[in-house]
Chains A and B, each alone.
Chain A
Amino acid sequence: MRAPSSGETALGEVLLAVEDVSLSFGGVRALTGVSFDIRKGEIRAIIGPNGAGKTSMLNVVNGFYHAQSGRITFKGEVRTSMRPYAAARGGIARTFQNLALFRGMTTLDNILAGRALKMRRGFFWQLIRHGPALAEEVEHRRRVEEIIDFLEIAAIRKIAVGRLPYGLQKRVELGRALAMEPDLLLLDEPMAGMNLEEKEDMSRFIIDVNQQYGTTIALIEHDMGVVMDLSDRVVVLDYGRKIADSTPDEVKRDENVIRAYLGQPHGASA
C-alpha cells in the first residue's frame, strides 16, 4: 500500500506524489494512509461515494488542510504543510465544488483576477496605470482574451457572473484557474448540477485544456460515465481509505469499488 501504483498508462514523470497521508478532524478520520501519484500530462480522477474524503484530499493537496501525517511531493519537492497561497504560486490551480467567484464582477474581471499572481508591478504602478504597468496589463488582458476565446464565453465577457446560469459560472471558474497557467489543475466536481449538454461541453473543454496546454488535471467527479470517458487513471476512496487505483476499465470491474458504490454494510472491509 506504500508505493504509488505503477500505472501502465503512465505518461510522464511523477508531478505530485501523495504518500501515506492521514487527516482527522477531532475524532473524525477524513483520510487514512492514502497514497497515490499524479503524472505529468494525465487526467487523474478521484472518485468515491459521498463522504469518502475526495474534497479533503484535494484540500490537502492545495494546502487548505494540513495532513497530520504523511508526505506530499510536488515537482520533486517535499512539502508537509503548504499554504494555499504557496500552492498557487507553485503552479496548482483549482475550482470549487460550490462556486467561489466574485459574483459582482464581470467574467472578464474574474478571469483577470486569476492573473493576480503573475502581476509584476506593485500597487503604486497599478494605480498610475501607465508605462510598464499598462504594458503589463495589456499583456495579461491578451492572455485572458485567449482563454475567453478558448472557452467560447465571449458573449458573457462583460456580464457580472452572479447573473449567469450555473453551467456558465462553472466555465468562468475554469477560466480563472486557467489564467494562472497552472502545472496542475484541480477540479472539484466540475460537472455537478449540469445538464447533459453542459456536461458534454465541459468534458470537451477539459480534454482540450489537457491536450492543447498540456496541463495535468486531477478531478473529482460523481458522474461515473464522465470519469470513465475522461480520465487516464482513477483513484477510488471510501471512508477515507484508498480502495482502488487503476485504469477506468479495471476500476469498473473492481469488487471493492462495486461494493462501496452499491452500499454494502460497512465495518468488515479495510
Chain B
Amino acid sequence: MQSLDPSLDTVPKLLLHNAVALGSRPAMRHKDFGIWQSWTWAQMRDEIRAFSVGLAELGVKRGDKFSIIGSNRPRLYWAMCAGQALGAVPVPVYADAVADEMAFVLAHAEVTLAVVEDQEQVDKVISVSERLPALQRVIYDEPRGLKDYDHSRLIAFADVQSLGRKKLANDHQCLEQWNAGVAAGKSSDLAVILYTSGTTGNPKGVMLSHQNAIVSSRNGNAFDGLGPDDNVIAYLPIAWVGDHILSYAQSYVGGFCVNCPETLDTVVEDRREIGTTYALAPPRVYENNLTITMVRMADAGAFKRRMFDYFMMIARRWGEKILNGERVPLHARLLYGIGDLLVYGPLKNRFGISRLRVAYTAGEAIGPEIFRFWRAVGLNLKQLYGQTEASVYVTAQPDGEIEAETVGRPSPDVEVKISDSGEVLYRSPGVFIGYYKDPEKTAEVRTPDGWVHSGDAGFFDSKTGHLKIIDRAKDVGRLKDGTLFAPKYIENKLKFYPNIREAVAVGADRDFVCAMINIDLTAVGSWAERNNVVYASYQELAANPRVYEMITGHIDEVNRSLSEEEVMAGAQIRRFLILHKELDPDDGELTRTQKLRRRHIGDRYAALIKAFYEGAKFAEISTEVTFEDGHKGTITARLEIRDIKTYPVRAAGMVRAA
C-alpha cells in the first residue's frame, strides 16, 4: 500500500492545503434564489472553520458520531469536513429514508448530533427522538417553518457558525488549537460511516478511513485526469458512497468544483448552466434521458424526425469508432460532423452534457441499446463497477476500451480475482476498515489477507480482458457437470428482445439448460398483425408455430453469444417452450416489482420442467389462475417443447452439438 504525505492525509488537511494552494479558485457553488452563489477554497475554509469551532463549542469532540441528513447542499458537505476536523465521524443518511429506517441508523451509530436540511428532516428526527438517547442536538440549514419549534435542542446552522466566529474573534488561541486538532488527525482515523441499504436485514455501517477515501480518490482522479479545472454536479444521495467519494473526497484531493443544484427538479437546467465535465450516474438516468428524447422526437414534425433518424443512423455506424479514435473514412467524418452540428450537439446541449469528458454508469447493468445510443452521439459513457466496501472503485473501463456488457479492468491499485465458486474478490487500499459494531459480518466478508467478497458472481472476458458481472453470487448455480449456470444473465440476454417479455431459465443441478418464454403481447401482437397471423387469445398466439419460429431465432442468437464466452458457453439453452399465460404477480409468479419468484415458478410448472428433462415433445399443464376480478379459474394447455441447436465453445474449441 502506498503511504500518504502526512501533511495531506486527511480531508481537513487537504482543505487547509487547498485554501492556500487554490485559494481563489471556486470550490463549491450552489444555486440559490436563482443565482449561482460560489465559494472559493479560502472562503470555504473560513465557513467550515467557523462551523467547526461552533461545533466544538457545543461540545463535539474526537470520536463522536454525527449524522448528516438532507439533499446536496454546501452546508451539509461543510458539516462533514467541519466534524472531521475535530476528529468526529460523519454518518450521512439517505434523505428520503422514512423515520423508522432513519431511527435504526441513528441509534446504531449512536449519533450525538444531527445536521439536517430542513423542517421535513427535523420532524423526522424529532418523531423518533425517544429511541435516540444519545442524540443531544439537531442543527438545521433551512429555517423555514421552524420558527415556532422548541429550540432547546434545535439550533440553526448560521447560529452555530456565528458561535464559532465569536469564539475565533475573542479567543486568540482558538485558531491555533483548531489547527492543531486538524494536524493531529491521522490517515488511519475513521473518516466516515456509510450505511448500505441492505436488501435483506438491517443496513450495515461501512467504516472508511481517510486513507481509504484519499487513495481511492487520488486513483480515480488520475484515471480520468480530473483536476482543478473540472466541474461536477452533486445530486445523488449524499449517503451513497459514489457521491461521498466523487462530490466530496475527490473534490478535496483534486481541487475541482462541486456544484449543488437548486432543487432536484432543476438538475438538468443547472447542469447545463455549469457545463459539468464529469458524471457518475445509475443507468436509469441515461435511460430516462433517452426516453425523453424519443418521446420528444415522436412528437416532432416530419422533417425533424427524418433528420434525426438519418443522423442517428450515421451516429450508430460511425460514432463509436470516432469516439474510440479508430480510423474512419473521410466522408463518414464529414457526415458525422454535420450530424453533430444539427442533431448530436443540440441534443447533448439540451441535457447539459456537451462538456462532459467522462460519464460513468454504475450500480446495475445498463441496456446495450441505451449505452450505444449515448456513445454514438459522442458522449464518452463508460462503465464502472464499485462497492461501498471498496470506496467505490473496483473496475472501470479505460478510454478506448469500451464494451456494453463489461465493467472494465481493475482500477489502479486494485487486485481482482475470481474465487472457485465464481465470486468476484478484490483487494485494494480502498478496502474498508470493517462494519461498524459487527466484527462477525466483517470477518465473513473480508478474508484475513484482505480480500473482500463482493457477493457478485463474475468472470473475466477472454476477448477483452474485462470483468463481466453475471448476477448476485447467491443466485448463481451449476449444472450437473459443474458448468456455471447464471439464470439471470441468460434471462437478461433473452429479455433484450422486445418480443420476449419474461424468461425463466432452469438448469441448476440438471444436465442442461432449458428456458420458458413469455412473449410480449404488444410486440408480438403487432408483428402478427403485420404478418397476417390470426389469433383469438394470448394462448393461441403463444402456441402459433410461426411465433415459435421467431423465438427460436432469438434463442439461437443468444446461444451464439453465450458460446463466445468461455465461462458461459456450457450453459446454452437446449430446449424451450412458450408459456400459455403471462407470468403475473397476482398468481405469485412475480414480485410486485416484477422480479421472478423462482421457487414458486418451479413448483407451479413442475410438470413442464419434468417434461423438459424427459425429452417429451409436448407437455400437459393445468394451472390455477386468479382473474382480475379476484375469482379463480383453471387454464389447461398442451405446450410444444422444441429442441434448439447449441454452438461449440469458440474460445476452447470444444464441440458440443445437440
Name A's B-contacting residues (CB within 8 A). Answer: 108, 141-142, 145-146, 148-150, 152, 154-155, 157-158, 208, 212
Contact of B262 among A108, A150, A154 (CB under 8 A): A154
B34 touches A154 (CB 8 A): yes
For residue B303, CB closer than 8 A to chain A, the reply is: no
Name B's A-contacting residues (CB within 8 A). Answer: 32-35, 144-145, 262-263, 265-266, 269
A145 touches B34 (CB 8 A): yes
Contact of A155 among B32, B35, B145, B263 (CB under 8 A): B263
| Contacts known (A145-B33, A148-B34, A149-B33); A154 close to B145, Cβ less than 8 A | no
CA of A152 to CA of B33, assembled, Å:
11
Residue of A nearest to B267 (CB): A155
Residue of A nearest to B268 (CB): A155
B265 touches A155 (CB 8 A): yes
CA of A141 to CA of B265, assembled, Å:
21
Listed by A's residue number, 13 A-B pairs whose Cβ atoms lie within 8 Å are A142-B33, A145-B34, A148-B34, A152-B263, A154-B262, A154-B263, A154-B265, A154-B266, A155-B262, A155-B266, A158-B269, A208-B145, A212-B144
CA of A152 to CA of B35, assembled, Å:
15
CA of A146 to CA of B144, assembled, Å:
12
CA of A96 to CA of B183, assembled, Å:
63
CA of A148 to CA of B34, assembled, Å:
9
CA of A149 to CA of B265, assembled, Å:
13
Residues of B within 8 A of A146 (CB): 33
B32 CB, nearest partner CB in chain A, Å: 8
CA of A41 to CA of B144, assembled, Å:
19
Residue of B nearest to A148 (CB): B34
Residues of B within 8 A of A142 (CB): 33
CA of A149 to CA of B31, assembled, Å:
11
Residues of A within 8 A of B34 (CB): 108, 141, 145, 148, 154, 157
A148 CB, nearest partner CB in chain B, Å: 7
> 7 closest Cβ contacts across the A-B interface?
A155-B265, A145-B33, A145-B34, A155-B266, A154-B262, A154-B263, A154-B266
Residues of B within 8 A of A208 (CB): 145
CA of A205 to CA of B592, assembled, Å:
35
A208 CB, nearest partner CB in chain B, Å: 7
Residue of A nearest to B34 (CB): A145
CA of A155 to CA of B33, assembled, Å:
12
CA of A146 to CA of B262, assembled, Å:
13
Residues of A within 8 A of B145 (CB): 208, 212
A145 CB, nearest partner CB in chain B, Å: 4
Residues of B within 8 A of A154 (CB): 34, 262-263, 265-266
Residues of B within 8 A of A157 (CB): 34
B267 CB, nearest partner CB in chain A, Å: 9
Residues of A within 8 A of B35 (CB): 145
Residues of B within 8 A of A212 (CB): 144-145
Residues of B within 8 A of A150 (CB): 144
Residues of B within 8 A of A149 (CB): 32-33
CA of A152 to CA of B263, assembled, Å:
9
Find the residue from A146, A154, A157 having the highest chain B CB count within 10 A: A154
What 19 new A-B contacts, CB under 8 Å, besides A148-B33, A154-B266, A212-B145? A108-B34, A142-B33, A145-B33, A145-B35, A146-B33, A149-B33, A150-B144, A152-B263, A154-B34, A154-B262, A154-B263, A154-B265, A155-B262, A155-B263, A155-B269, A157-B34, A158-B269, A208-B145, A212-B144
Residue of B nearest to A142 (CB): B33
Find the residue from B33, B35, B265 having the highest chain A CB count within 10 A: B33
Residues of B within 8 A of A148 (CB): 33-34
CA of A134 to CA of B466, assembled, Å:
59
Residue of B nearest to A144 (CB): B34
Residues of A within 8 A of B144 (CB): 150, 212
A86 CB, nearest partner CB in chain B, Å: 32
Residues of A within 8 A of B269 (CB): 155, 158
Residues of A within 8 A of B262 (CB): 154-155
Residues of B within 8 A of A141 (CB): 34
CA of A149 to CA of B145, assembled, Å:
13
CA of A149 to CA of B269, assembled, Å:
16
Residue of B nearest to A143 (CB): B33
Residue of B nearest to A141 (CB): B34
B522 CB, nearest partner CB in chain A, Å: 28
Residues of A within 8 A of B32 (CB): 149
CA of A146 to CA of B33, assembled, Å:
6
A144 CB, nearest partner CB in chain B, Å: 8
B121 CB, nearest partner CB in chain A, Å: 16
B353 CB, nearest partner CB in chain A, Å: 18
B235 CB, nearest partner CB in chain A, Å: 13
B71 CB, nearest partner CB in chain A, Å: 13
Residues of B within 8 A of A145 (CB): 33-35
Find the residue from A148, A150, A155, A208 having the highest chain B CB count within 10 A: A155
Residue of B nearest to A158 (CB): B269
B570 CB, nearest partner CB in chain A, Å: 52
Residue of B nearest to A208 (CB): B145
Find the residue from A148, A149, A158 having the highest chain B CB count within 10 A: A149
CA of A150 to CA of B269, assembled, Å:
19
CA of A149 to CA of B118, assembled, Å:
13
Residues of A within 8 A of B266 (CB): 154-155
Residue of A nearest to B261 (CB): A154
Residues of B within 8 A of A158 (CB): 269
CA of A29 to CA of B496, assembled, Å:
69
CA of A152 to CA of B119, assembled, Å:
14
A150 CB, nearest partner CB in chain B, Å: 8
Residue of B nearest to A204 (CB): B145
B72 CB, nearest partner CB in chain A, Å: 15
B272 CB, nearest partner CB in chain A, Å: 11
B274 CB, nearest partner CB in chain A, Å: 15
Residues of A within 8 A of B33 (CB): 142, 145-146, 148-149
